[in-house]
Amino acid sequence: MARLQGKVALITGAARGIGEAIARSFVQEGARVCLTDIDDARGAATAASLGSMAQYLHLDVREEQDWVAVTQALLAQHGRLDVVVNNAGITGFEAGDLVQDPENVSLSAWRAVHQTNLDGVFLGCKHAIKAMRAQGAGAIINISSRSGLVGIPGAAAYASSKAAVRNHTRTVALYCAEQGLQIRCNSIHPAAILTPMWEPMLGDGPDREVRMQAFVSDTPLRRFGLPEEVAALAVLLASDEATYMTGTELHIDGGILAGSAASPQVQES
């Protein structure tokens, strides 16, 4: 039996990247999935490619009225909402502004990153709880980052926002338990996952491959991770296999947080 059979899921930032991969995996596991994004053309096309088990709705995670409209629409359509994946996020580099260090990042850039990455997760958790309260159970999955566990000098706002997501996940988990609700809230912490988010840093041209290798040289597994590998963890957390997991964080980083690994040695025969 499909692991998410009968569940209704909402995924933010689902037009591409990790969000799209999660949506595809959820549909494959039997869930009815609402993909949301602010890129309406790409989001609608992605949902259409997933068939009748998927739909697309516009949702700007920074706007509370969007959350109200989308969650109410899903409850009216399906009578329930079982899973919310707060995936939408930005680095701050998207507009070509590569100055994101703690001394020189602008206040407007700092606020913009937090508005999407933190306010968006806050609103997602808030309205997920409200939508799931009637059934008394559900799963909230927040996509944080390895950057939420360590300092990132060149991406101060991003690291700060993802650290806050990590802690808010625990707060939501404890609040739901305190309320007597079986609404679980967990976080996933990816690192070095090859998605469009990396494009501003990798760039184009003949040096792209060199830059890619430089980025993964600090990864013990010596490669980028795939969005599908993150999606596999989201499926686990959304499923009934994880009903005793809440306030938990799962790391998927190719071993970066474990430390450094020596290069493999070739054995001579």
Predicted local distance difference test score (pLDDT) of residue 50: 98
Q: Which residue's entry shows tokens 């599908």? A: 228
Listing DSSP states for 197-241 in one string gives GGHHHH-SSTTHHHHHHHHHTTSTT-S-B-HHHHHHHHHHHHSGG
Q: Quick one: pLDDT band at residue 113, thresholds 50, 70, 90?
A: very high
- Higher-pLDDT residue of 202 and 60 is 60
Say which residue, 131 or 206, is predicted with more confidence. 131
The alpha carbon of residue 193 and the mean position of all alpha carbons in its chain are separated, in whole angstroms, by 11
Is residue 4 a contact partner of residue 238, using CB atoms and an 8 Å limit? Answer: yes
User: Is pLDDT at 30 greater than 60 in this prediction?
Assistant: yes
Domain ranges of the chain: 8-194+228-250
pLDDT in tens, 146-195: 999 999 999 999 999 999 999 999 999 999 999 999 999 999 999 989 88
Contact 202, 230 (CB under 8 A): no
Query: Would you say residue 261 has pLDDT above 90?
Result: no
Asked if the model's pLDDT at residue 268 lies above 60, the reply is no
Task: Note whether 226 and 199 are within 8 A (CB).
Answer: no
**Which pLDDT does position 266 carry in this prediction?**
53
Q: Evaluate whether 143 touches 231 at the Cβ level (below 8 Å).
A: no
- What is the reported pLDDT for 25? 98
Measure the CA–CA gap between 140 and 138, rounded to whole angstroms.
7
Q: Which two tokens stand for residue 112?
A: 């913009």
Query: Is 23 or 99 the better-scoring residue by pLDDT?
Result: 23
Q: Which residue has the higher pLDDT, 231 or 201?
A: 231
* Closest C-alpha among 229, 269, 268 to residue 252: 229
**Whole-number pLDDT of residue 267:** 57
Nearest to 125 by CA among 46, 181, 193, 58: 181
Coil, strand or helix at 201:
helix
Q: So what's the pLDDT on residue 207? A: 77
Measured CA to CA, the distance from residue 127 to residue 246 in angstroms comes to: 18
Bridge partners for 56 per DSSP: 35
- The pTM assigned to this predicted structure is 0.92
What is the rounded distance in angstroms from the CA atom of residue 237 to the CA atom of residue 248?
A: 10
Note the pLDDT of residue 243. Answer: 98
Quote the tokens at residue 267.
């054995």
* 175 labelled catalytic: no
pLDDT of residue 265: 61
160: which residues sit within 8 A by CB, 6+ positions away?
A: 114
| Fold held by 8-194+228-250 | Rossmann fold (3.40.50)
Residue environment code for 158-173, b if the CB has 16+ CB neighbours within 10 A, otherwise e: bbbbbbbbbebbbebb
Q: Are 152 and 158 in contact (CB under 8 A)?
A: yes
The confidence score (pLDDT) of residue 69 equals 98
Question: From the DSSP assignment, how many helices (H) and strands (E) are in the chain?
Answer: 9, 7
Rg (CA), the chain: 19
Q: Which 3 state secondary structure label does DSSP give 2?
A: coil
Question: Taking all residues of the chain, what is their mean pLDDT, rounded to a whole number?
Answer: 93
* DSSP annotation string for 234-258: HHHHHSGGGTT--S-EEEESTTGGG
